[in-house]
Structure 1
Amino acid sequence: MNRREALKKSAMALGAAAGAPTLLSILQSCAKQDRLTWTPEFLDEDQAKFISSFVDFLLPKTDTPGGLDVKSDIFIDRIYARTYDEAGQKNVIAEIEKFNNDCKSKYGKVFAELSAEDKAACFRDHEANTAKFPKGVWGSAVGPQEPVGYYRGLKSSVLWSYFSSEEIGKNVLSYDPIPGPYQGCIPLSDVGKTWSL
């Protein structure tokens, strides 16, 4: 199997599983993990540092929690450990090594050790030179689908884990629990505009 096919299969496997309850249970199990005693299930220490640095640079803590606060790095490690087959896992290790080697050749250090300016330059370079996700209509891709590569796939997974976390869902985003409370008799003026579906 060539690298392009491996990337394509890994991306399709992640995409197919994205809505599965398994991913949600992995995400929920990350919320209970104590950060100080976290030991990666799949990644080695240097690879885990890469993922944590990537997450922290993409979603730093501001007045809202950052990616590390909601444990997106732990989630990514568990996804690799529990949903990727052996070929997919080998591909992840090769892609992390390739990413770090690229950083070493351009900036002199692996990604986790780069300054904020060099990390920003690295991200800009990958944004400009990697394939993007195809345009979609209602969640379905439209047109030809090129493999997006490791950088964009990792970025997408980090964002998905962040916005799917309980902390962000309840305390940062607008949260309207479904089905919500039943209020059978309220004045029409309290209803406001009709809700869009």
Structure 2
Amino acid sequence: MNRRDALKKSALALGAAAGAPTLLSLLQACAKTDRLTWTPQFLAENQARFISSFVDFLLPKTETPGGLDVKADVFIDLMYAKTYDEAGQKQIVADIEKFNADCKEKFGKIFAELSEEDKTACFKEHEANSPKFPKTVWGGAVGPREPVGLYRGLKSTVLWAYFSSEEIGKNVLSYDPIPGEYLGCIPLSDVGNTWSL
């Protein structure tokens, strides 16, 4: 299984729990933002560079659009600006600065300036050591909800933003805004591509 397929499956599992109308409206607003004139609403320039680098490394452009193509980084900045309270915003800034400081200590540069190999090593380390999301039943967490940290939380948000974007929903995933008859028992091979609806 390649990385894109693994991320797609992870995002689909998280998408149902993370979806909210407020976030969808922010994502739609980002689609109209021109990348060349984009000024972060909340993040400082170095923090916005971190988010953009994280998004681009997690979801690079291949035969399908990448995370930057659907402006997931713009969405994340807007989400921090519009939906996080002051304490949450301070925590995000502190977490980004710590992430960059750790990269500088281990690799000699901040995340945005790392080579592909060093970014891969950084991601592998955080994947192995970051807390996991709690198990869920029908979209609700089971057991205590511990903080998952910047890496896991940001990764989840990037995937949600990517797969919730209009570009991916309509042009990459299968999309049928007016579904036809219900076929409840068909072979899985007949389902085809992953569906956005």
- Short-chain TM bin: 0.7 to 0.9
Gapped regions of structure 1 (runs ≥ 5)? 1-14, 184-190
Equivalent residue, structure 2, for 1:122: 122
The AA in structure 2 aligned to 1:162 is Y
- 1:92 has 2:105 as partner: no
The offset of 1:182, in angstroms, is: 6.1
Equivalent residue, structure 2, for 1:145: 145
The AA in structure 2 aligned to 1:68 is L
Measured in 2, the distance between the counterparts of 1:25 and 1:143 equals 31
Measured in 1, the distance between the counterparts of 2:145 and 2:30 equals 31
Kindly report which structure 2 residues correspond to 1:16-35, keeping only aligned pairs within 5 A, or say none: 18-35=18-35
Q: Tell which structure's C-alpha radius of gyration is larger.
A: 1
Q: Would you say how many aligned residue pairs link Structure 1 and Structure 2?
A: 172
Measured in 2, the distance between the counterparts of 1:36 and 1:123 equals 28
- 1:176 has 2:176 as partner: yes
The offset of 1:20, in angstroms, is: 2.9
The offset of 1:19, in angstroms, is: 3.3
Measured in 2, the distance between the counterparts of 1:91 and 1:57 equals 23
The offset of 1:135, in angstroms, is: 1.5
Measured in 2, the distance between the counterparts of 1:149 and 1:171 equals 32
**TM-score w.r.t. length of structure 1:** 0.82
* SS state at 2:54 partner: helix
The offset of 1:181, in angstroms, is: 5.8
User: In angstroms, what is the RMSD of aligned CA positions?
Assistant: 2.1
How big is each residue's C-alpha offset from its partner over 1:74-126, in whole Å with a ceiling of 9 and x where there is no partner?
A: 00000000001111111111000000000000000000000000000000000
Residues 193 and 144 of structure 1: is their aligned pair in 2 closer, same or farther, counting only changes over 3 Å?
closer
Equivalent residue, structure 1, for 2:43: 43
The offset of 1:141, in angstroms, is: 1.6
Measured in 2, the distance between the counterparts of 1:138 and 1:51 equals 30
* SS state at 2:39 partner: coil
Equivalent residue, structure 2, for 1:163: 163
The offset of 1:170, in angstroms, is: 0.6
Measured in 2, the distance between the counterparts of 1:146 and 1:181 equals 39
The offset of 1:132, in angstroms, is: 0.5
Equivalent residue, structure 2, for 1:78: 78
The AA in structure 1 aligned to 2:100 is N
**TM-score w.r.t. length of structure 2:** 0.82
Identity across aligned pairs (percent)? 76
Measured in 2, the distance between the counterparts of 1:20 and 1:164 equals 10
Equivalent residue, structure 1, for 2:8: none
Equivalent residue, structure 1, for 2:59: 59
Measured in 2, the distance between the counterparts of 1:124 and 1:60 equals 17
Residues 182 and 128 of structure 1: is their aligned pair in 2 closer, same or farther, counting only changes over 3 Å?
closer
Measured in 1, the distance between the counterparts of 2:19 and 2:171 equals 22
Measured in 1, the distance between the counterparts of 2:180 and 2:141 equals 37
Residues 194 and 33 of structure 1: is their aligned pair in 2 closer, same or farther, counting only changes over 3 Å?
same
Measured in 1, the distance between the counterparts of 2:26 and 2:93 equals 21
The AA in structure 1 aligned to 2:158 is V
Measured in 1, the distance between the counterparts of 2:138 and 2:180 equals 29
